[in-house]
Amino acid sequence: MTDQVQPQGNPGDILNWPMLKIKYLTDRDKVAALLPPGIAPGAKPQVTLTVYNFPVLGEPEYGVVTTVDAVYDGMEGEFALGYGIDQEAAIFSSQERNGQPKFPCDIKYFRLMEYVFAKCSHQGYTFLDFKGQTAGALPTGEQFEHNEWWIKSARSVGVAESTGFDFPPHVVRVRTVYGTAYKEKVVGQLNLLPSPWDPIAQLLPYREEVENYLWWPTFHDREITLAGKLDPDAFMPFADVIGGSRWPGENGGPKK
């Protein structure tokens, strides 16, 4: 149905903020190059960028999530390349406990009447800019299950040349059951800007728009579990990270 009532709440309450979902198609070989052995590209080379404001640790957390469609152990889902967030307190505990690839990021995100704006910057580089206009309600659809894949691992203690893992790479399955309270189409322009730290523009180039929308989800169930192991030797080239994301890196720094 499209005749849904828009969400209401206390003025200024951040619980009422929607997620901005931006979906586009890239090149299949580009997706495959970023996935560690054991995780395969999904049916479509689709990138999902999610910009949000949600209360975490009792205060607003602005974030941007970059995922690609991927398959693990026969299950369709999305592989998370990075969670850029604007509060430091939730970064390290999330990485250590669950392998959630969080890193610090400066984010501006708001809606003003029909206007929607998002801008994401990291290490002085703006890598994402979006401007759009809302264009009417969309069908809410049925309740659905969504899988997201993270990686939890810890390399061996020692100097930079050390090899091996104290905790070998494991796939973390984040299973969530969602419904939709309200969904609104957004017509807009995504600009991906070159960045050595968040190289979405370079490594996941924009080829075709899929859809953009504001989404007010309802949460029905969520569990985070270890789903299986990856080959440690095959994973080692993917162990270097940039700011917590799973982008290719060299000795912990950006690949120019």
Query: What are the structural domain ranges in the chain?
Result: 14-254
Q: Is 50 exceeded by the pLDDT of residue 250?
A: no
Residue among 101, 154, 110, 86 nearest 16 (CA): 110
Q: Give the pLDDT confidence score for residue 252 in this predicted structure.
A: 43
Residue, of 214 and 160, whose pLDDT is higher? 214
Per residue in 96-134, pLDDT (tens digit) is: 999 999 999 999 999 999 999 999 999 899 999 999 999
- Average pLDDT, integer, range 45-58: 94
Q: Is 60 exceeded by the pLDDT of residue 3?
A: no
Per residue in 61-99, pLDDT (tens digit) is: 999 999 999 999 999 999 999 999 999 889 989 999 999
Q: Is 80 exceeded by the pLDDT of residue 220?
A: yes
Please determine, looking at this structure, whether the domain spanning 14-254 carries the CATH number 2.40.100.20. no
Q: Give the pLDDT confidence score for residue 251 in this predicted structure.
A: 42
Q: Give the pLDDT confidence score for residue 70 in this predicted structure.
A: 97
Q: Is 80 exceeded by the pLDDT of residue 255?
A: no
Q: Is 80 exceeded by the pLDDT of residue 248?
A: no
Q: Give the pLDDT confidence score for residue 21 in this predicted structure.
A: 98
- Average pLDDT, integer, range 237-246: 66
Q: How far apart are CA 142 and CA 14, in angstroms?
A: 25
Strands 46-56 and 59-72: antiparallel
Which residues are 117's β-sheet partners?
Answer: 110, 131
Kindly list the distances between the CA atom of residue 29 and the CA atoms of 16, 34, 44, 122, 208, in Å, as whole numbers in the listed order.
Answer: 38, 9, 11, 26, 15
Q: Give the pLDDT confidence score for residue 40 in this predicted structure.
A: 96
Question: Three-class SS string for 68-92?
Answer: EEEEECCEEEEEEEEEEECCCHHHH
Lowest-confidence pick of 23-27, 220-224, 243-247: 243-247
Q: Is 60 exceeded by the pLDDT of residue 1?
A: no
Average pLDDT over the chain, rounded to an integer: 90
User: First vs last Cα of the chain: how many Å apart?
Assistant: 48
